[in-house]
Structure 1
Amino acid sequence: MTSETLFNLIMTTGQKNPAILMIGSEGSRNDPTVKQDQYQDYDITYFVSDADFPTFEQFDRNHFGELMIQQILPEKNQWCWLMQFMDGNRLDLKIQPVSSVPAYLAEDTLNTILLDKTGVCTNLPATTDRTHWIQHPTQREFDACVTEFFWVSTYVLKGILRGELLYANYFFGTIVREELYRLLSWRVGKDTDFSLSVGKAHKRLPDYFDGLECLYDLSDLTRTGLALSTALHMATELLPSLSHDLQLTYDVATVDRATDYILQKL
């Protein structure tokens, strides 16, 4: 079925089921900054009466499409099914008690109510991605990021020197690159008055920085070394102006020692 047909089915299912009192929607389809496309999920929550909620563990989902694969996540105060269908549609469907609606709306500015049989949720504000905007770091957060970046860079170096590609790549990809992206995100945040998000998995950072693709060529020890060297240069070039503009400090001497040590060994 088409994406539009699935959406209509989601709505009519909620309308026809007397136990479903509200239909919530969250995620990228409510984000005005995201370009809509065929790959977007539907993130939907059916809110049911607190009395009916325990029975919805067995909620029939077969009519939404032919399943390819699903994950079932029974979390606190909700049922959650992540469903990928053979027709290309994806639906993340949650069931929550209606008493959780105030917390749901307060949790994320992308969350909204599409259908309300109770008449309680009126005049809801337009959805925005404000909840996901880059936040000004605290001194403690800044210290932790800088320390983790340079500390774990020595792990990557050790892996390279030992000839352990998978070890080096693991620490580079999971920690060093991620901490660099925190620094880059704070640079974007400061430059834009902390008024936007760079998206899930930092996907909008290439809009602000060139050359990030070279941080992903880890196919051999030489290339991992080049990626580490590039990350170090990016961080050390960024830190003086970033710390000044954020009015935060870092241990310059330690950063210089660590950088010199790693680059001399590479």
Structure 2
Amino acid sequence: MRSEKKMMDLILNVAERDERIRAVYMNGSRTNPTLVEDLFQDYDIVYVVTETTSFLEDEHWVDVFGDRLMMQEPDKNDQGAGGDIADFYGYLMLFTDGNRIDLHIETLPHMQEHYGEDKLTVPLLDKDDCLPEIPDATDEDYHVQKPTEQEYLARCNNFWWCQQNIAKSLWRDEVPYAQFMLECIIRRDLDQMVSWWIGTQNGFQVSTGKVGNYFKKLLSEEYWTMYEATYADEDAEHIWDALFAAGDLFRTLAHRVADEFSYTYRREEDENMTRYLKQVRRLPSSADRIF
């Protein structure tokens, strides 16, 4: 596996030799001073270029970075942000030695409009002094934000309301929908409450990662064990167990967050839905009424 020095030298040497490339900067995890480096960190690189057309017409210009296992071009696959590829284009490259470069090319006007929006940005090369001065890289934009009372109440309401969808899908033996609701809807609300609680413990000066990446290191052992119990396999009874485990953890942390901000936890929503879930779990498949 090529070292960080070799990778950075390669990235900068390519830019220095190519007159179309006028500046280089990096963002992402490698610019975050709070993270411990590891071998899976990407190189999130942006080349500021005079134009993109000549790059786009030459599909092999990126071969200089090494032998690839695979490449994705989100803008070609219509997975990009919907911008004009004449201004901004990306190449996501995984190499045979395990390194990965997420490389974007952008025009000078595009850079001038967007440079520094991501506060995890570090300039690497500037041939024309075109990169504006920006503060040192910080992850402050990724810190957990304090919830308003309305945000808190809405999150609690949605967490408990959506659980009835899991209950009925399990009774119908529709595991895919139950798992979808648990992992894509309920977990979203649970993760937000976990993040808010972590924020209260760290003065809201901490990031919990994109989708709770850092929960394990930020939660107590007790709470992490509770969080682990919210995952289930395809067995319906295990999904029920995970759902009730999610409720236990959400309830515990929601009370603590409410106390922190003097908000009111609507206990009746919790109690009513929990009673409903227990009733549906006991229902035989031949039942003709819920209560």
Length-normalised TM-score, structure 1 = 0.91
Q: How does 1:1-266 map to 2 (within 5 A)?
A: 2-4=2-4, 5-49=6-50, 52-58=51-57, 60-74=61-75, 75=80, 76=83, 77-121=87-131, 124-207=134-217, 208=219, 209-211=223-225, 212-266=227-281
SS of the equivalent of 2:229 reads helix
- The change in CA–CA distance for 1:116 and 1:249 in structure 2 (over 3 A counts) is farther
Partner deviation per Cα, 1:40-85 (whole Å, 9 max, x = no partner): 1111110113xx2343323510111112111112241310111111
Residues 89-110 of structure 1 show CA distances to partners (whole Å, capped at 9, x for unaligned) of: 1111101112233443332111
Counterpart contact for 1:105–1:112, Cα < 8 Å: no
SS at match of 1:215: coil
Q: Supply the distance in 2 between the matched residues of 1:102 and 1:148 (Cα, whole angstroms).
A: 41
- TM-score normalised to structure 2 length: 0.84
Question: CA offsets per residue over residues 203-227 of structure 1, 9 Å max, x none?
Answer: 1112213212222232311111110
In structure 2, distance between residues paired with 1:236 and 1:130: 28
- Kindly report structure 1 stretches of 4+ aligned residues shifted beyond 4 Å: none
Higher mean C-alpha deviation, range 96-105 or range 130-139: 96-105
Question: In structure 2, what is the Cα distance between the partners aligned to 1:151 and 1:223?
Answer: 20
> For the Cα contact (< 8 Å) 1:82–1:91, is it kept in 2?
yes
Percent same amino acid at aligned positions?
29
Matched residues in 2 for 1:13 and 1:246: separation? 52
Q: CA deviation at 1:122?
A: 6.6
- Provide structure 2 residue ranges, at least 5 long, that are not aligned to the other structure: 282-291
Instruction: Measure the CA separation in 1 of the matches of 2:211 and 2:164.
Output: 24
- How far 1:263 moved relative to its partner? 3.1
Mind listing any 5+ residue stretches in structure 1 that lack a counterpart? none
Q: Give 2:276's aligned amino acid.
A: Y
Q: Give the drift of 1:7.
A: 2.1
Q: In the alignment, is the contact (CA less than 8 A) between 2:70 and 2:93 conserved in 1?
A: yes
Q: Distance in 2 between matches of 1:106 and 1:256?
A: 47
Separation (CA, whole Å) in 2 of partners of 1:147 and 1:103: 39
How many pairs were matched up? 264
Contact 2:15 2:24 in 1 (8 A): yes
Which shows bigger deviation, 94-103 or 31-40? 94-103
**Larger helix share, 1 or 2:** 1
Q: Distance in 1 between matches of 2:157 and 2:185?
A: 11
1-side partners of 2:38 and 2:254: how far apart? 37
User: Does 190-199 or 245-254 show the bigger shift?
Assistant: 245-254
